[in-house]
């Protein structure tokens, strides 16, 4: 796990960063102040040193020892921490190297009191009039630092004393010259560096100690209680009873833990009540999410489908549906918006499902949406309607079929004949209608009873089915009357062969119980479009042809206009 995924580590890091930032600002401020102080101290020392040198120089000069002053300046170069020492006149020329001042003084005194030997300059012989030099000419001490702050130069003004004016009365300027003293500041820089290292080391140690202390405090008083709450929340869906062991705390986290325990107990009790209610319901409840993944399965659903709840939870709802009714995974809200109905799986509220054994059955379905912040849930309520569907199918069959023979009745016959006529008209095909009536059936029905007559009709229906093709229709329209719709017969001879086949099949002996019977059939045939283009006309004309065939029995006749 990533170290910074821990709340305690992040809090300690943030607070430590804030402390470090504050200490950084404080340290920078202290460092700046100490640096300024040390630099000011170095300036004061250098200024004091320059003042002492000027005082010594003036003492030597008052005794008229110009040569000695030059030698003294050269010896000062060898002093510790002194990098350079030069004396300049106000005009920037180096002093004590020529006879200019000596001659001027002697001329003023009108006697040769002072003597000096010209010597080479110690530097360039003159100094440029810089800002610092000009400041010193104005009577103020000026300072310059080297680029690396390892050297500092003091420009110290040499003021004229009253004793000096005794000899130098040829000029009344209060400033005699400029002392340029360059000293090493390496010691001060070392002190600044040591101070900086000590200061930053102390700051780092303070930050580390405070960070660790803060981390230990946060871990004990905040992070560990939050971890307990987190673990309890993770385990909450699987917990069957009990609550989080509360640490004995009196702060806000203790109140949060107590509130969580109360919430957990309330939710657990509510879950038990909800589960009991769901399991007591006699309808199947299936709860699934937007991706059609099952989340809950009540006891009635387990009984209906034969699956235990643990085996279906987490699976796609398609495992319960038949292939044509499968739904795609995805946002079911889109399907709700498209269908605009409470049933989002199949229109009409009914669909076919399969149980654990793979057997198909029908359910009535209603789906309602439960909007939640985390995403909508869907509650599917299913009721097994297999028996009702079977009853509806039986009623529908009875409404369109003869209850005795199972053949289509007159209603279904008219529907199929209407459909066949539409196809024949569209494709310019022929169509034939056969009207069949059994000969001598009334004698069998009267002498042997209606039960035997019914058995005879059932056998007749079976023989008729064996004489025609699957796309032809046989219907029972009366007691012993049947109608056959023959499609795709191109010539009358083709229909005649079918009629002869029916007559021969029905003329064979029938065995009912211990008795044997023999009946024959009379068949009338009408043709589309020769004998009519309407359904009622074709049936009527076939009926007329059948009565014509009755005169001979066991025969068939085509309809003619003379009938």
User: In the structure, what pLDDT confidence band is assigned to residue 4 with cuts at 50, 70 and 90?
Assistant: low
Could you tell me what percent of the chain has a pLDDT over 90? 18
Active site residue 81: no
pLDDT, tens only, 529-545: 999 999 999 999 999 99
Pick the CATH number of 282-390 from 3.40.50.300, 3.10.150.10, 3.40.50.80, 3.30.450.20: 3.30.450.20
User: In the structure, what pLDDT confidence band is assigned to residue 176 with cuts at 50, 70 and 90?
Assistant: confident
Q: What is the pLDDT of residue 415?
A: 92
Superfamily in which the 3-191 domain is placed by CATH: PAS domain (3.30.450.20)
* Strand-pair partners of 362: 352
pLDDT, tens only, 154-165: 898 988 776 665
Instruction: Determine the average pLDDT of the residues in 456-466.
Output: 92
Answer whether residue 38 shows pLDDT above 80.
Answer: no
Instruction: Determine the average pLDDT of the residues in 335-340.
Output: 56
Give the whole-angstrom CA distance, residue 164 versus residue 176.
9
Active-site residue identified among 384, 472, 480, 531: 480
Break the chain into its structural domains and give their ranges: 3-191, 239-280, 282-390, 401-558
CATH 3.30.70.270 for the 401-558 domain, yes or no: yes
Helices and strands in the chain: count of H runs, count of E runs: 17, 16
Enumerate long-range contacts of 126-131, CB under 8 Å, 24 or more apart.
Answer: 126/88, 126/92, 126/93, 126/94, 127/86, 127/88, 127/92, 127/93, 127/94, 127/178, 127/180, 128/92, 129/92
Answer whether residue 347 shows pLDDT above 50.
Answer: no
Q: What is the pLDDT of residue 549?
A: 92
User: In the structure, what pLDDT confidence band is assigned to residue 264 with cuts at 50, 70 and 90?
Assistant: confident
3-class DSSP state of 209:
helix
Instruction: Determine the average pLDDT of the residues in 379-393.
Output: 80
Asked if 282-390 and 401-558 have one fold, the answer is no
pLDDT, tens only, 465-497: 999 888 889 999 988 999 999 987 778 888 999
Instruction: Determine the average pLDDT of the residues in 188-212.
Output: 77
Q: Which of 24-28, 32-36, 161-165 has the lowest mean pLDDT?
A: 161-165
Tokens 């050297």 found at: 151
C-alpha triplet 157, 160, 162: angle, nearest 5°: 155
Give the whole-angstrom CA distance, residue 315 versus residue 347.
23
The per-residue pLDDT of the chain, averaged, comes to 79
Give the whole-angstrom CA distance, residue 559 versus residue 381.
60
Q: Which of 63-67, 91-95, 145-149 has the lowest mean pLDDT?
A: 63-67
Q: Which of 46-55, 111-120, 232-241, 339-348 has the lowest mean pLDDT?
A: 339-348
Could you tell me what percent of the chain has a pLDDT over 70? 79
Answer whether residue 78 shows pLDDT above 70.
Answer: no
Answer whether residue 1 shows pLDDT above 50.
Answer: no
């Amino acid at each position: 796990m990533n170290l910074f995924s821990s709340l305690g580590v992040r809090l300690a890091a943030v607070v430590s960063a804030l402390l470090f930032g504050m200490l950084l600002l404080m340290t920078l401020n202290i460092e700046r102040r100490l640096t300024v102080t040390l630099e000011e101290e170095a300036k004061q020392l250098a200024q004091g040193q320059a003042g002492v040198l000027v005082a010594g120089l003036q003492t030597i000069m008052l005794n008229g020892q110009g040569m000695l002053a030059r030698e003294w300046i050269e010896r000062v170069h060898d002093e510790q921490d002194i990098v350079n020492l030069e004396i300049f006149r106000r005009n920037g020329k180096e002093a004590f190297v020529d006879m200019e001042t000596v001659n001027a003084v002697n001329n003023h005194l009108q006697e040769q009191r002072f003597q000096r030997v010209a010597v080479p300059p110690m530097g360039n012989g003159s100094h440029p009039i810089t800002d610092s030099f000009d400041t010193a000419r104005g009577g103020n001490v000026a300072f310059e630092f080297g680029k690396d702050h390892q050297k500092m130069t003091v420009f110290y003004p040499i003021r004229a004393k009253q004793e000096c004016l005794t000899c130098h009365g040829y000029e009344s300027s209060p400033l005699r010259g400029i002392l340029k003293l360059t000293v090493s500041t390496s010691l001060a820089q070392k002190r600044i560096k040591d101070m900086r290292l000590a200061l930053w080391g102390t700051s780092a140690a303070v930050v580390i100690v405070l960070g660790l202390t803060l981390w230990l405090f946060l871990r004990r008083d905040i992070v560990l209680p939050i971890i307990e709450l987190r673990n309890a929340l993770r385990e909450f869906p699987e917990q069957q009873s009990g609550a989080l062991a509360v640490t004995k705390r009196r702060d806000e986290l203790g109140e949060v833990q107590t509130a969580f325990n109360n919430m957990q107990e309330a939710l657990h009790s509510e879950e038990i009540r909800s589960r009991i209610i769901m399991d007591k319901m006699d309808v199947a409840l299936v709860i699934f999410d937007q991706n059609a993944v099952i989340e809950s399965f009540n006891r009635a659903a387990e009984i209906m489908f034969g699956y235990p709840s643990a085996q279906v939870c987490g699976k796609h709802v398609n495992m319960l549906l038949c292939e044509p009714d499968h739904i795609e995974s995805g946002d079911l809200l889109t399907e709700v918006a498209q269908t605009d109905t409470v049933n989002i799986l199949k229109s009409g509220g009914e669909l076919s499902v399969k149980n654990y054994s793979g057997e198909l059955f029908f359910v009535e379905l209603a789906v309602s949406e439960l909007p939640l912040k985390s995403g909508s849930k869907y509650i599917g309520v299913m009721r097994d309607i297999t028996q009702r569907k079977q009853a509806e199918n039986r009623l529908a069959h009875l409404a369109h079929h003869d209850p005795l023979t199972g053949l289509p009745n007159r209603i279904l016959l008219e529907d199929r004949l209407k459909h066949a006529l539409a196809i024949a008209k569209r494709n310019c095909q022929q169509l034939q209608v056969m009207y069949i009536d059994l000969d001598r059936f009334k004698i069998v029905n009267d002498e042997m009873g209606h039960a035997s007559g019914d058995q005879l009709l059932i056998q007749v229906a079976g023989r008729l089915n064996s004489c025609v093709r699957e796309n032809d229709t046989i219907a029972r329209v009366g007691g012993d009357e049947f109608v056959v719709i023959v499609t795709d017969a191109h010539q009358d001879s083709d229909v005649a062969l079918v009629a002869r086949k029916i007559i021969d099949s029905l003329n064979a002996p029938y065995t009912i119980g211990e008795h044997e019977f023999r009946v024959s059939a009379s068949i009338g045939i009408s043709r589309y479009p020769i004998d009519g283009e309407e359904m009622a006309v074709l049936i009527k004309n076939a009926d007329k042809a059948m009565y014509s065939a009755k005169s001979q029995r066991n025969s068939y006749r085509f309809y003619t206009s003379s009938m």
